[in-house]
Amino acid sequence: MAAPILEVRAADVFYGASQILFGIDLAVERGQTMALLGRNGAGKSTTFKAIAGIAPPRRGQIALSGTTVSGKPPYLVARAGIGYVPEDRQVFPEHTVEDNLIVGAKPGPRGDRHWTTARIYEVFPILAGMRHRIAGRLSGGEQQMLTIARTLMGNPDILLLDEPSEGLAPIIVRAIGDLIRTLREMGVTILLAEQNMHFCMGIATHATVIDKGQVVYSDTIAALRGNEAVMQRYLAV
């Protein structure tokens, strides 16, 4: 069997002397949309930072298609094929939408250039109509879409989305959900951190739940939906 696109094995992560993640195991196979669920402070963002090379694990390992990436600096992790979209949307505010996309353009780890601005505009028609607008003047939801689009321009093997729905109005949350579903249907492999279980239900194929820095559940999203005990205990729904 092929190695998972992303595999986190027994990762322990510390901020200074405080241990935040305890032996995290996580595997995302090609084409999956894995939801990383957990309450506020459970360790979702820290898991993403560990994968992206920003908060490297002190013990354990992170591999991309079987090749170890833990220990590499963030720019090399990105080059290896991890497309990380952090919680705080990071557009270049002074530049146009199109320039933001062009800045993100680079070939994927095997030289592929699947994502072009033309392709982005097909998948994100809202950005096509705004290509000459200054990114800093877009709404929060539009900036979120632009950040996702710019990350795709780097042709990653996996897209890490940290709470893409956070702080957005319900109608925009739905639009972001539709967009992620479209990407999933196109075959993009996604790891999606969310507190909002309902947001993930129609989007994710699989779910991993973390609590106090530990994985407490991992299965298909359908299995999680049928498991009231896990949902109530760890997700308060």
Each as own residue / partner, the long-range contacts of residues 178-181 (CB below 8 Å, 24 or more positions apart, any chain) are: 179/123, 179/124, 179/145, 179/148, 180/33
Which residue's CB is nearer to ligand ATP, number 20 or number 101?
20
CB-CB contact of 141 with 149 (8 Å):
no
Separation of alpha carbons 35 and 41, rounded Å = 16
Which residue's CB is nearer to ligand ATP, number 101 or number 209?
209
Q: Cβ of residue 45: shortest distance to ligand ATP, in angstroms?
A: 3
Interface with ligand ATP (CB under 6 A), residue from 5, 34, 35, 43: 43
Nearest to 86 by CA among 136, 49, 126, 139: 49
CB-CB contact of 205 with 220 (8 Å):
yes
Which residue's CB is nearer to ligand ATP, number 43 or number 81?
43
Q: Cβ of residue 44: shortest distance to ligand ATP, in angstroms?
A: 4
Spell out, one character per residue from 194 to 213, where the chain touches ligand ATP: x when CB under 6 A holds, - when not. -x------------------
The reply on whether position 42 binds ligand ATP by CB under 6 A is: yes
Which residue's CB is nearer to ligand ATP, number 2 or number 17?
17
CB-CB contact of 127 with 145 (8 Å):
yes
Q: Cβ of residue 149: shortest distance to ligand ATP, in angstroms?
A: 23
What count of residues does the chain have? 237
Q: What dihedral do alpha carbons 216, 74, 189, 221 form, nearest 10°? A: 20
Which residue's CB is nearer to ligand ATP, number 40 or number 110?
40
Q: Cβ of residue 129: shortest distance to ligand ATP, in angstroms?
A: 32
| Ranges assigned E (strand) in the chain | 6-15, 18-28, 33-37, 59-64, 67-68, 82-85, 158-162, 189-194, 206-211, 214-220
The reply on whether position 56 binds ligand ATP by CB under 6 A is: no
Backbone angles phi, psi at 14, to 5 degrees: -120, 145
The reply on whether position 132 binds ligand ATP by CB under 6 A is: no
Kind of pairing between the strands at 59-64 and 6-15: antiparallel
Interface with ligand ATP (CB under 6 A), residue from 10, 41, 137, 223: 41
Which residue's CB is nearer to ligand ATP, number 47 or number 100?
47
Interface with ligand ATP (CB under 6 A), residue from 4, 38, 83, 141: 38
The residue ranges that bind ligand ATP (CB under 6 A) are 15, 18, 20, 38, 40-46, 195
